[in-house]
């Protein structure tokens, strides 16, 4: 196995000499005279790459080392999808507890953009170790990183955006807080994944509790619980706060190109946007009683709007809206889609022109709407279970995590369900 070492200051590749093995002798038997012709054979299935790769060491800090796969595609597909046991035709599933694990050991995040889906798969390995894998929905990995699960060095969360991905590493824990390092790269195999892109020292940011990580404009951005948003200026080697992101209880940030979109979860809810180096501004022009976080796929966006709110944040009406994302960025040409049978705000999921809106009662599932036709379908979990989370939506499928919703219950299952296989929506 080849190993090398990368530090924040130096990059050194080491390799061992390779001596080819001696050629094996192969004896070929003489053909039998007048042997009957063999029947035609079915073509062999394509050979999968061997599930092995060499790993390169990346030193984040003394005592905190990562292992980066030199050939991530050689690990093979990160998930083994199987037909759903009791789902509709075309449904695929995978358990969150695989192999010989005694507890759930798989977590999954998905991003749909322009009809393409990228997955971030988190695996708990024996050792104890953990691994993050980034791959296209049905393709081979383009990035994989491993680390020990240790209080002084461990892999954190992953953030996906149309600008790229960010992987968080936690180290230097003390008094409940930790320093953080970040790997960042595009949604493809790229040399930038081989370097630490930013470090957030615990001593400099006392009391920092991270909410999410993002890739925005080729930079690492972090979302602090409740705000503010900060992005790392590589040239200046400093963290820069997004002006206006600390004027309310900031939440739900997402990256789109060189801009970040987020919401103030105070009353009224206000969606905001900011480009790197600029002050945050309202994403939706005009007075609105309340809005959900805005979900964006390319130049299209969807959101919920509430009207007639009382002191308990109960609305007389909540409606689904759609619009275009134009330069600024801001929302333009806002169009009403339909009225919803709910009175509290919720966050929709969106991708490929398909939106999923949670129903008033969580156990009742989701309404799935095709924006181009207005067609409505129903997304519900099997009897006795619930949809714990919508993972991604594309024009052809919706992926969800289905389980009991209870701590210590049976392991959840991730399902990919064709939108066309969902039944027509009927209100309960």
Q: How confident is the model at residue 108 (pLDDT cuts 50, 70, 90)?
A: very high
Give me the pLDDT at residue 42, please: 45
Work out the pLDDT band at 344, boundaries 50, 70, 90: very high
Count how many Cα atoms sit within 13 Å of the Cα of residue 111 in the half-sphere of its side chain. 25
Instruction: Please give the Cα distance from 350 to 298 (Å, whole number).
Output: 11
Q: By the 8 A CB rule, do 358 and 366 touch?
A: yes
Q: What whole-number distance in Å separates Cα of residue 370 and Cα of residue 372?
A: 6
- Taking all residues of the chain, what is their mean pLDDT, rounded to a whole number? 88
> Quick one: pLDDT at residue 345?
92
Residues 6+ apart with CB under 8 A from 218: 163, 164, 258
Structure token digits, residue 52: 């092995």
What is the distance between the alpha carbons of residues 371 and 389, in angstroms, rounded to a whole number?
A: 21
SS3 label, residue 74? helix
Q: Which residue has the higher pLDDT, 361 or 402?
A: 402
Q: How far apart are CA 72 and CA 69, in angstroms?
A: 5
pTM for the predicted model, two decimal places: 0.85
Structure tokens at 317: 């009406």
Query: What is the structure's pLDDT at 319?
Result: 97
Please, which pLDDT band fits residue 25 given cuts at 50, 70 and 90? very low
Q: Look-up: residue for tokens 């002798």?
A: 25
Domains of the chain by range and CATH? 144-282 (2.130.10.120)
Q: Return contacts of 52-57, CB within 8 angstroms, 24+ apart.
A: 53/144, 54/1, 54/2, 54/3, 55/1, 55/3, 55/146, 56/2, 56/3, 56/4, 56/5, 56/6, 56/13, 56/194, 57/3, 57/4, 57/5, 57/6
Q: What is the average pLDDT across 335-345? A: 94
For 78-98, the pLDDT digits (tens) are: 999 999 988 899 999 999 999
Q: CA 217, 218, 224: angle at the middle one, nearest 5?
A: 75
Least confident of 47-56, 235-244, 327-336: 47-56
3-state DSSP assignment of residue 420: helix
Of the pLDDT bands very low, low, confident and very high (cuts 50, 70, 90), residue 50 is low
Q: What is the DSSP string of 190-221?
A: -GGGGSEEEEE-TTTSTT--EEEEEEETTEEE
Q: What is the pLDDT of residues 140-197, one digit of tens each?
A: 999 999 999 998 999 999 999 999 999 999 999 988 899 999 999 999 999 999 999 9
The closest alpha carbon to 136, from 190, 83, 78, belongs to 78
Q: Is the pLDDT of residue 5 over 70?
A: no
List residues bridging with 107 in a β-sheet. 122
Structural tokens at position 8: 């924040």
Task: List Cβ neighbours of 262 (8 Å cut-off, separation of 6 or more).
Answer: 223, 229, 245, 250, 251, 252, 253, 254, 271, 272, 273, 280, 293
Q: How many CB atoms lie within 10 A of CB 10?
A: 8
Q: How confident is the model at residue 408 (pLDDT cuts 50, 70, 90)?
A: confident
**Cα(309)–Cα(246) distance, integer angstroms:** 25
Q: Give the count of beta carbons closer than 10 Å to the beta carbon of residue 22.
A: 6
* Both tokens assigned to 48: 């999968």
| Rounded Cα distance, 131 and 66, in Å | 10
Residue 71 scores a pLDDT above 90: yes
Percent of the chain with pLDDT over 90: 74
């Amino acid at each position: 196995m080849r190993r090398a070492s990368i530090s924040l200051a130096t990059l050194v590749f080491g390799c061992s000499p390779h001596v080819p093995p001696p050629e094996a002798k192969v004896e070929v038997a003489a053909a039998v005279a007048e042997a009957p012709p063999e029947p035609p054979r079915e073509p062999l299935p394509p050979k999968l790459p061997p599930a092995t790769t060499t790993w390169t060491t990346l030193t984040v800090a003394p005592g905190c080392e990562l292992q980066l796969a030199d050939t991530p595609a050689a690990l093979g597909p990160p998930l083994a999808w199987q037909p759903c046991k009791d789902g509709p035709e075309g449904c695929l599933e995978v358990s969150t507890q695989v192999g010989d694990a005694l507890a759930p050991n798989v977590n999954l995040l998905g991003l749909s953009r322009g009809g393409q889906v990228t997955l971030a798969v988190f695996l708990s390995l024996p050792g104890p170790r953990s691994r993050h894998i980034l791959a296209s929905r049905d393709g081979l990995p383009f990035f994989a990183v491993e680390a020990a699960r240790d209080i002084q060095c461990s892999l954190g969360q992953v953030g996906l955006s149309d600008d790229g991905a960010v992987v968080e590493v936690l180290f230097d824990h003390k008094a409940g807080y930790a320093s953080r390092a970040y790997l960042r790269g595009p949604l493809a195999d790229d040399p930038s994944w081989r370097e630490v892109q930013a470090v957030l020292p615990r001593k400099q940011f006392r009391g920092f509790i991270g909410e999410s990580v993002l890739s925005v404009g080729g930079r690492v951005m972090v979302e602090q619980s409740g705000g503010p948003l900060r992005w790392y200026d590589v040239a200046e080697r400093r963290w820069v706060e997004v002006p206006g992101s600390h004027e309310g209880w900031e939440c739900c940030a997402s990256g789109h190109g060189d801009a970040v979109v987020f919401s103030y979860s105070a009353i009224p809810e206000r969606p905001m946007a900011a480009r790197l180096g600029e002050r945050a501004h309202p994403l939706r022009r005009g007075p609105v009683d309340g809005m959900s976080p805005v979900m964006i796929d390319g130049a299209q966006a969807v959101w919920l709007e509430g009207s007639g709110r009382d002191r308990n944040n109960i609305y007389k009406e909540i409606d689904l809206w759609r619009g275009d994302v134009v330069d600024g960025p801001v929302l333009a040409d806002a169009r009403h889609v339909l009225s919803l049978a709910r009175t509290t705000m919720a966050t929709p999921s969106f991708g490929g022109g398909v939106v999923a809106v949670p129903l008033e009662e969580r156990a009742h599932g989701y309404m799935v709407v095709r924006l181009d036709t207005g067609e409505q379908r129903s997304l519900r979990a099997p009897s006795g279970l619930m949809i714990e989370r919508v993972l991604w939506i594309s024009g052809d499928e919706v992926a969800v995590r289905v389980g009991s919703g209870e701590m210590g219950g049976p392991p959840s299952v991730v399902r990919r369900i064709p939108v066309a296989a969902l039944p027509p929506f009927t209100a309960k």
